[in-house]
Amino acid sequence: IDERDEDALKELIAGELGRSRDRSLGLTTEVLAAADLTAQVSPLMSPLVWDLAHIGNYEELWLLRAAAGAEPMRPEIDTLYDAFEHPRAERPSLPILPPDEARSYIATVRAKVLDTLPSVRFDTADPLTSGGFVYGMVVQHEHMHDETMLATHQLRKGAPALLDPPAAPLQASGLRAPGEATAADEVLIEAGPFQMGTSDDPWAYDNERPVHLVDLPAYYIDAEPVSNAAYLAFMEAGGYDDPRWWDPAGWEWRTAGGKRAPAFWSREGGQWLRRRFGRTEPVPPGEPVQHVCWYEADAYARWVGKRLPTEAEWEKAARWDPDAERSRRYPWGDAYEEGRANLGQRTLRPSGTGSYASGASAYGVRRLIGDVWEWTSSDFHGYPGFRPFPYREYSEVFFGPDYKVLRGGSWATHPLAVRGSFRNWDYPIRRQIFSGFRCARGVRSAGEEGGA
């Protein structure tokens, strides 16, 4: 990139750093008192003030020390904000910075980042700064923690802290009566190779690289995520009582915890209600089911005679353009376009079935990006030729059979923190995240079941 492009990129970066910070403060110091920021609402989550200072500490490590060569500002606090040294459950007992100190620490870091940005060279020969990578990594990191903070807000008891913006008008058309959305439309994806992952997306993470061809047999994939109405049909058919549908470890999870419904659901007077950011409302039939774990998604799929898609199947349906014979960055094309996906916390909920039709992929598969993270059947592994960068603890230490891959982002994910190649992962029992799923199945050919 020449100097003019580099200046334009730096201007964009400065703007995005500002927007991510506005978002972080809007989830913490601007809406909650100090006692709420330091409280731990669940052993699964950090106190919100830990996330806030961790965002700043990560920024100091990568943008001030690594990129700008600055001296540590407060080396004694590094260990407190190292996610690997202290699991979430331990964090409230650490001497972490109180809210006012956390806020002034992150503001000081940010001021220095903006001071040094003009003099940091984006060197095409240095993978850390080439294309502004490390700045993109820090912007994405802040937005990821903002989504984590939203999960903390969802778990909070007490009065609502967040404004509940009205659902986007696009959503209205998608609200269907119970039962109507139970038969999911499917799309046939023909057999053949596609390009999985990326080697040229400047802000892509190590686990999205490198691009490689994957040849898949033909399969069907649901045109939309599984709706609450469809999931309710599974519940009403006794799905939670029938071990036939469940992975043995999932049955263990379901019985040990007495689980009978997605997280945050309750039954009152013959009606299913859900708690959403401190407000209770009837479960909307046309929205994707949310707050289900991998075991619940897997059980529903088996009950309905399907299975979860592999992450390769998910990505081919989302990115492959069979006419151009190339993968797109987003389902609809290479450029992010506002209004084609429910991303970025514009509402505090996923959209209804039929919304965002303009975000469909080349195959006509809808709402792959945004709305709910979608569980896949795949364990989290590195692609062939994977190289950890810039640190092993971003992805590599999580590779193995313990984590399942989620794709596509949720309504709470910022547009910069997701794309068709983006990979998220979590334990199969987790459901405080904004997780849902869609199903897939093999194509019967010459009397044989393929794909599964």
| Binding residues vs ligand AVJ (CB under 6 A) | 141, 144, 148, 394, 424-425
Is 88 annotated in a binding site? The answer is yes
Give the separation between CA 413 and CA 246, rounded to whole angstroms.
Answer: 29
Q: Which is nearer to ligand AVJ, 61 or 196 (CB)?
A: 61
| C-alpha count within 13 angstroms, C-beta hemisphere, residue 267 | 8
140 Cβ partners below 8 Å, 6+ apart?
Answer: 203, 414, 416, 417
Q: Which is nearer to ligand AVJ, 225 or 409 (CB)?
A: 409
Query: Least separation, in Å, of the C-beta of 376 and ligand AVJ?
Result: 14
The DSSP annotation for 323-378 comes to: TTTEE-SBTTBSS--TTSSB-TTSSSSPPPTT--GGG--TT-----SBSSEEEEEE
Query: Least separation, in Å, of the C-beta of 104 and ligand AVJ?
Result: 22
Query: Least separation, in Å, of the C-beta of 217 and ligand AVJ?
Result: 30
| Cβ burial 204-230 (10 Å sphere, 16+ → b, else e) | bbbbbbbbeebebeebbbbbbbbbbbb
Query: Least separation, in Å, of the C-beta of 399 and ligand AVJ?
Result: 12
Is 209 annotated in a binding site? The answer is no
Nearest to 145 by CA among 42, 59, 30, 85: 59
| Dihedrals phi, psi of 443, to nearest 5 degrees | -105, 130
Q: Which is nearer to ligand AVJ, 333 or 390 (CB)?
A: 390
Query: Least separation, in Å, of the C-beta of 253 and ligand AVJ?
Result: 20
Is 291 annotated in a binding site? The answer is no
Is 145 annotated in a binding site? The answer is yes
Is 65 annotated in a binding site? The answer is no
Q: Which is nearer to ligand AVJ, 320 or 437 (CB)?
A: 437
Query: Least separation, in Å, of the C-beta of 329 and ligand AVJ?
Result: 19
Is 68 annotated in a binding site? The answer is no
The residue sitting closest to ligand AVJ, measured at its beta carbon, is: 144
What's the sign of the alpha-carbon dihedral 53, 132, 113, 343? negative
The strand pair at 373-380 and 435-436 is best described as: parallel
Is 91 annotated in a binding site? The answer is yes
Query: Least separation, in Å, of the C-beta of 386 and ligand AVJ?
Result: 16
Q: Which is nearer to ligand AVJ, 228 or 424 (CB)?
A: 424
35 Cβ partners below 8 Å, 6+ apart?
Answer: none
Is 426 annotated in a binding site? The answer is yes
Is 423 annotated in a binding site? The answer is no
Residue 235: CB atoms within 10 A of its CB come to: 20
Question: Strand order in 186-189's β-sheet?
Answer: 186-189, 219-222, 440-442
Q: Which is nearer to ligand AVJ, 194 or 425 (CB)?
A: 425
Q: Which is nearer to ligand AVJ, 141 or 291 (CB)?
A: 141
Binding-site residue numbers are 54, 88-91, 141, 145, 426, 430
Binding-site residue numbers for Fe cation are 54, 141, 145
Binding-site residue numbers for gamma-L-glutamyl-L-cysteine are 88-91, 426, 430
